[in-house]
Amino acid sequence: MSRILDYVDSQLARGRGFFTKTVAMAETGQSPQAFQAAMHRLSKKGSVVTPHRGFYVIVRPEDRALGAPDPARWIAPLMKHLGLDYRISLLRAAAFHGSSHQAAMVFQVILPHQLPKIEIGRQKIEFHFQSPDAFTKSNRPEWLVPLKTEAGFANVAGVELTLLDICRYFHCVGGINAAAQVVHDLGDKVHIRILVKAASAYENSTVRRLGYLLEQLGHVRQAASLLPIAAKAKSFKLLDPSVRPIVPELTALVERNADWKLLVNLPVEIDH
């Protein structure tokens, strides 16, 4: 046990709040049985947690109230351990870029791979799937922003990818109005050239929703850059497919927006 404790302390001294089973066993010379027994004891004490098999996160005393450190501090090494590319996005990325209206209660990550969510104490990570082709097209290094952490750097979606992701996965951020709030907060930070290029990796309906919200919230120049993409649409889509009229007769009251080929079935409301 003392060798493992010394190893954990050495990791912290090197600024690493994590380790893998393979490396720890190699450096301590412990057998699998001895290693597992030590991990079991440390886990019971709340000193380490295991977000994924073979990967351990060290829990400092100041982090124990939440059950684990902020996932931003260990998401990059976890993804490296799993051999997966990724980006932090949605509400956590929006907050990183300055959208303070939305409380990022869940740490949200985009992946080209299906992974179950992770819950450790009050820390929650959701993984949202993007098809491998679309992910490869959109997850370009120049469209990501590095977040400095003790583990090095974590990949955060740039403003343009954040807004596109928000409008694709709007049901995961609290609905269209929650998405609209982020668009309102970040729209003036959009780099139009990047937005247009990145939009080609997304479904046309996602681009139309973003363009509509940008226009409605006063970011007219940014919205206009997406109109040529919207013009390619062959049919109208609901702004929010989850909202259905209480009675069929109310369908006739839905606004048809010809520019964005959207059926606007929900008023856009934000906090100012």
Q: What is the pLDDT of residues 138-148, one digit of tens each?
A: 999 999 999 98
- Same-domain status, 54 and 132: no
Q: What is the pLDDT of residue 229?
A: 97
Asked which of 35, 63, 91 is the last residue of a domain, the reply is: 63
Q: Is residue 139 part of a domain?
A: yes
pTM score: 0.92
Residues 54 and 108 in one domain: no
User: Do 80 and 182 belong together in one domain?
Assistant: yes
Q: What is the span of the domain harbouring residue 56?
A: 2-63
Give the model's pLDDT for residue 251. 53
Q: Which long-range contacts (CB under 8 A, 24 or more apart) does 66-70 make?
A: 66/121, 66/122, 66/123, 67/120, 67/121, 67/122, 67/123, 68/120, 68/121, 68/123, 69/17, 69/123, 70/107, 70/123
| Burial class (CB within 10 angstroms; exposed 0-12, middle 13-18, buried 19+) of 204 | middle
Write down which residue in 63, 88, 107 finishes a domain.
63
Cα angle at 207 between 99 and 84, to 5 degrees? 70
Same domain? For 42 and 127 the reply is: no
**Residue 93 shares a structural domain with residue 122:** yes
By percentage, how much of the chain surpasses pLDDT 90? 84
Q: Which of 18, 42, 63 is the last residue of a domain?
A: 63
Mean pLDDT score across all residues of the chain: 92
Please give the tally of structural domains in the chain.
2
Rounded to whole angstroms, the Cα distance separating 184 from 205 reads: 19
Q: Is the pLDDT of residue 188 over 80?
A: yes
Residues 80 and 141 in one domain: yes
Residue 136 and residue 164 in one domain: yes
The answer, yes or no, to whether residue 106 has pLDDT greater than 70, is yes
For 208-263, the pLDDT digits (tens) are 999 999 999 999 999 999 999 999 999 999 999 887 654 454 455 689 999 999 99
